[in-house]
A = this chain, B = another copy of it.
């Protein structure tokens, strides 16, 4: 590859389609799917990702913000769009006129939406969110009981689903999964004619019991292993090729990068690569990760800086060094899950951190 003065982030759209297929194949008959494309499709580009999924047959999507719903509508004009954050007072009219489906996370949002339905003389589509153990959004048990027992609260709401969210689905042995499942079943019985949406990616892979009527995969579509202790069912989607802008031979022993946290010795070869923490290559990877080139793992040495990292490339033969214009920083050989482990986080944060100074290529 010819040098272009910046690193290259390649998003493999056909693998996104494959991950979608492989994930939906895990579903019992009749279960439908809305793919989560919030946060710019986990950093990979909502426009391109949604279009690809749409072409692959996906018609339902989930976002967090109203703005994201708008951006998505421009790409997929007949898609069904669920907004996780629900709605604030100033957003009701926009959400309603655009036929977005808000997740109603508390009594306040239910009341807002129901009143608006009454005012406009029609039932408005909405999702009732009840907390089963995540403790983030959703009705508490007592508030849910009020809603379930008194139909007036939701008289003007066309309840598409009863929703809840798993907190520990990536840990199959966690007792919390079963506890949440039992609560979900209990709540579902209290609203017998309403479909249920419960599972995220990991929930899908936990099996049929967790799938109910509708699932909301996210991370698996983007190549993150939904259940880290199991073999990954999905393929890597993002490949980050860092551009090598300089290779130096150390002339006297010296430290590399800020705070001098790595000592290089005379004769060592150090490559400088265009990718730093401002590009989403976490500073936590300082002295603690690798790049991949031609079958070799090249250690990141010294602190990650804002725009660049340094690699010890002493092990690369001189003849190969000449052609080393790009190295893999993330991809099939340094997976998103490995990079996350090294940065003491999860694959999701690795993806959402990816910056906008790369050349982005969709294939």
Contacts and interface: CB of A to CB of B under 8 A. Distances in A.
A258 interface: yes
Given A89-B3, A258-B168, A137 B64 contact: no
A193 interface: no
Interface string A251-279: 11011111110001000001010100110
B90 A176 contact: no
A233 B105 CA distance: 44
Name the residue in A43, A167, A251, A344 with the highest tally of chain B Cβ atoms < 10 Å from its Cβ.
Answer: A167
Nearest to A87: B5
Contacts of A270: 135
A173 to B, nearest CB: 13
Interface stretch (A16-24, A153-161, A306-314): A306-314
Interface in A1-52: 2-6, 38-39, 42-43
Name the residue in A90, A141, A259 with the highest tally of chain B Cβ atoms < 10 Å from its Cβ.
Answer: A259
A259 B202 CA distance: 13
A338 interface: no
Contact of A39 (B142, B278, B302): B278
A248 interface: yes
A184 interface: no
Contact of A167 (B38, B260, B277): B260
Nearest to A340: B283
A345 interface: yes
B308 A352 contact: no
B135 A302 contact: yes
Contact of A284 (B6, B64, B307, B344): B344
A39 B4 CA distance: 18
B349 A277 contact: yes
Interface string A118-148: 0000000000000101111100111000000
A352 B306 CA distance: 8
B260 A176 contact: yes
Interface in A44-75: 64-67
Given A4-B88, A142-B251, A348 B136 contact: no
Given A85-B245, A249-B140, A349-B277, A135 B3 contact: no
Given A38-B307, A39-B278, A277-B353, 14 more contacts: A3-B89, A5-B65, A39-B307, A64-B307, A67-B357, A134-B256, A135-B256, A136-B272, A136-B305, A137-B272, A168-B258, A170-B258, A176-B260, A284-B344
Interface of A: 2-6, 38-39, 42-43, 64-67, 84-91, 105-106, 131, 133-137, 140-142, 167-168, 170-171, 174, 176, 245-246, 248-252, 254-260, 264, 270, 272, 274, 277-278, 282-284, 302, 305-308, 310, 344-346, 348-349, 352-353, 357
The 3 closest A-B pairs by CB, nearest first: A39-B278, A135-B256, A278-B352
